[in-house]
Structure 1
Amino acid sequence: MTALHHGDPAAFAADVLDEGPPEPEHDPGVASRRPTKTSAAGALIRDSTGRMLFVVPTYKSVLDIPGGMTEDDESPKAAAAREIREELGTDLALGRLLVVDWTPRNGVWRDCHQFVFDGGVLDGAVAHDPELESVVYLTLDEARPRIYPSLHRRLVLAVAAAESGSTRYAEFGREV
């Protein structure tokens, strides 16, 4: 079963009850006419030498960080934990949020909020998902020609955020 959130289930259930009944539509159909924005979440995971963990997907020609798209009613942190469990076969204790990045529409993909959490240190990860060819540990410079430029910019921000203890906001990988 997919967790809807990342945290204490009893506290989450109490928070939902505290909100009261669902908000009614005062203008029938207004909710269905609103834009749908997607979100994705991943983790900055490094090995004990400081290299970053990248997944090698079978369905695209570039590397990515472990993570993926959120499902309906799923929080970004819960999605990152679920995707990491699926991709790497491990339950990773995700740390704090490092970056929130907005990316524009790209081909068939809607604009998206991208969340990067601190995944800590993990040595010797292997791919456990049939959608992955493998995983690789690379420095950011080594990875640069094999990742999207926006991901490179986002990861530069994530490293800076991890080192400074801050959280960064970006648009298409550029801090604003």
Structure 2
Amino acid sequence: MTLLGVQYGKAVTLAEDLLAEGEPEREFNPGIAGRLPRKRVAGGALIRDPAGRVLFVVPGYKPFLDIPGGVADAGESPLAACRREIREEIGLDLPVRRLLVVDWIPAHGVWPDGIMFIFDGGQLDEDQAVALKPTDDELKGLRFLAYDDAVPLLRPSMARRVQAALDALDDDHPHYAEFGRSQ
């Protein structure tokens, strides 16, 4: 059961929302839905320690640091993917909710274009930060870093995306970006 929210004081599931939508509309031109482009979608979290440093994961499958999170599975929302990946990667069930960044990234090499979401993962207390360990075999480690110290260890687009997320924290509204550049 996927809980989407609360309506009129009652929990609402995805199944209930789909039922309320009614029958799906028919294709005006048969086969068009199958020809529509598909985009990669991912959700990540900006998680900080008490000093305000950002949590980065050290993947074993690529040479750059990343933030906790990952690609959404089929039928999974970016927020659900973010929460799932945080549980898988660092073993925490954080109350991730607030959207910080929506970033479109272009196709690059074998990777199709995509939409990346960054959510506010909050600030861990000192005990949580010190005890944190990777809980996913794909990760070689975790690092809390000040933004400026992290930049040389990030892909340029990720550095811009993280900066946009930090800016969104400061100015209290989400940012839309294209390839990490706020618009």
- Above 0.5 in TM-score? yes
Is residue 37 of structure 2 the alignment partner of residue 30 of structure 1? no
Matched, 1:108 2:115: no
Residue 132 (structure 1) aligns with: 139
Question: Quick one: distance in 1 between partners of 2:14 and 2:32?
Answer: 27
SS in 1 for 2:149: helix
User: SS where residue 137 of structure 1 aligns?
Assistant: strand
State the match for 2:168 in structure 1: 161
From 43, 48, 51, the counterpart of 1:49: 51
Residue by residue over 1:30-52, the C-alpha shift from the partner in whole angstroms, topping out at 9 and shown as x without a partner, is 11111111111100000011110
8 Å Cα contact 2:55/2:144 also seen in 1? yes
Q: State the match for 1:69 in structure 2.
A: 71
Q: CA deviation at 1:78?
A: 0.4
CA deviation vs aligned residue, 1:64-114 (integer Å, no higher than 9, x gap): 000000111111100000000000111111030000000001111100101
> Which consecutive residues of structure 1, in runs of 5 or more, have no partner in the other structure?
none
Tell me the distance in 2 between the aligned counterparts of 1:150 and 1:171: 9
SS at 2:95 equivalent:
coil
Tell me if 1:117 matches 2:123.
no
Q: Specify whether residues 139 and 6 from structure 1 end up closer, same or farther in structure 2 by C-alpha distance, changes over 3 A only.
A: farther
* Worse-matched range after superposition: 79-88 or 4-13: 4-13
- In the alignment, which of 122, 145, 153 is matched to residue 146 of structure 1? 153
Aligned to 1:90: 92
Q: Separation in 1 of the partners of 2:4 and 2:68?
A: 17
State the SS of the aligned residue for 1:55.
strand
Q: Hey, what's the Cα distance between the residues in 2 that align with 1:82 and 1:138?
A: 23
**Would you say how many aligned residue pairs link Structure 1 and Structure 2?**
174
TM-score (norm 1): 0.93
Compared CA separation, residues 61 and 80, structure 1 to 2 (3 A): same
Describe the SS at the equivalent of 1:10. Answer: strand
Q: Which whole-Å CA distance do the structure 1 matches of 2:75 and 2:15 have between them?
A: 14
Quote the Cα distance in structure 2 between the aligned partners of 1:174 and 1:151: 10
Runs of 4+ in 1 over 6 A off after TM superposition: none
Moved more, 62-71 or 29-38: 29-38
**Equivalent residue for 1:18?**
20
Q: Is the 8 A contact 2:4 2:12 kept in 1?
A: no
Ranges in structure 2 where 5+ consecutive residues have no aligned partner: none
Q: 1:5 to 1:146 in 2, by over 3 A?
A: farther
Superposed CA RMSD in Å reads 1.5
In the alignment, is the contact (CA less than 8 A) between 1:6 and 1:75 conserved in 2?
no
